[in-house]
Amino acid sequence: MNTSRTTWVRPVVALFVTAAFFMPLYLVLANVFKPGGDITAHPASLPLPPTLASLKAVLSRPDHLFWYGLVNSVEVTAVSITILTVISAMLGHYLARSKGVLPKITLGVLLAGLMIPSPVILEPLTEVLRSMGLMTTVPGLVLANIGYYVPFGVFVFMGFVKSIPVELEEAAALDGTGRFRAFWVIVFPLLRPAAASVMIFLGVWIWNDFLNPLIILGPANGTTVTVGIYRAIGEHQSDFGQLFALMFLATLPILIFYLAFQKHFVKGLTGGATKG
């Protein structure tokens, strides 16, 4: 009887949580298609009638803020996740198949890397990049992303490699296939779901990163879409339509990227939980 009286709690809580998560999305979508004056006067109202003026203004800015940021974000994200996927897959395979002291030490170092927040190491990171001549450069930002996100990729790949029968590699070794070739020909094609999960997670994190591009690239050496939103807000900024339009356009590429790989996403995260 008590259960029947409380059956309404679950739907109400679910509705409240859904509304809390949907409200920011609604505000962005609604205000993208409003004139700037309507945004400040009625921020939560529907865009009636809708207008594309803010989107057109962002895409045709004289300083090309969005386009420069888009090119840099695509370049940094694509290069970073490609290198991260390759390195993480190879290192994860090595650690999953190896025994001894060195793999255990490497695992400990990687685990420590997962525990350190990015802002904590930002100052020493900039000193290292400056000593290498990579500060205020796109390669420097890519190198920083690789160094910070490798531990996450390795742990995802390790769990998935353990679910792949080692007999496949042993059979390849009996046929004379080297370990390196066996990894790329036999193991890596089976890691596609894990690779998709790693690419989605790291792609979203790197795309949305704000502090590293702001500090490493610097104000005069390029921008990303997230930093571009920040730079669009001036001391006397009043065009909120362009601000919401920038946020909307900055979200579209990474959303399309997620939709392209979503069918492998859950399988990649849970694949390593069945064996090992």
For 59-100, the pLDDT digits (tens) are 998 888 889 889 999 999 999 999 999 999 999 999 988 888
Query: In the chain, pLDDT over 90 holds for what percent of residues?
Result: 22
pTM, entire model: 0.84
- Whose CA is closest to 74, among 206, 164, 196? 206
Measure the CA–CA gap between 259 and 83, rounded to whole angstroms.
Answer: 21
Q: Is the pLDDT of residue 274 over 50?
A: no
CB 225 within 8 A of CB 73: yes
Which tokens in the block code for residue 221?
């050496």
Measure the CA–CA gap between 197 and 39, rounded to whole angstroms.
Answer: 37
Q: What's the 3-state SS for 218-239?
A: CCCCCCCHHHHHHHCCCCCCCC
Quick one: average pLDDT of 11-38?
85
> What is the structure's pLDDT at 100?
84
Quick one: average pLDDT of 161-173?
86
Q: Is the pLDDT of residue 267 over 70?
A: no
Measure the CA–CA gap between 120 and 106, rounded to whole angstroms.
Answer: 21
> What is the structure's pLDDT at 153?
92
Cα separation values, 233 from 92, 134, 249, Å: 42, 28, 16
For 27-62, the pLDDT digits (tens) are 888 888 888 778 877 888 888 888 888 899 889 988
Q: Is the pLDDT of residue 1 over 60?
A: no
Q: Is the pLDDT of residue 215 over 60?
A: yes
- Whose CA is closest to 94, among 177, 157, 145? 157
Give the residue, 16 or 263, on which the prediction is more confident. Answer: 16
Give the residue, 273 or 227, on which the prediction is more confident. Answer: 227
Cα–chain center distance at 18: 23
> What is the structure's pLDDT at 83?
96
Provide CB contacts within 8 A for 81, sequence distance 6+.
Answer: 198, 199, 202, 203, 206
- Whose CA is closest to 65, among 234, 258, 255? 234
> What is the structure's pLDDT at 99?
86
Side-chain-facing half-sphere of 245: CA atoms under 13 Å? 23
Q: Phi, psi at residue 61, to the nearest 5°?
A: -60, 140
Quick one: average pLDDT of 94-107?
88
Which tokens in the block code for residue 153?
């990729």
Please name each of the domains of the chain with its CATH number.
Answer: 2-53 (no CATH), 63-273 (1.10.3720.10)
Q: Sign of the CA dihedral 58, 64, 67, 73?
A: negative
Q: Is the pLDDT of residue 201 over 80?
A: yes
Q: Phi, psi at residue 38, to the nearest 5°?
A: -70, -25
Q: Is the pLDDT of residue 15 over 60?
A: yes
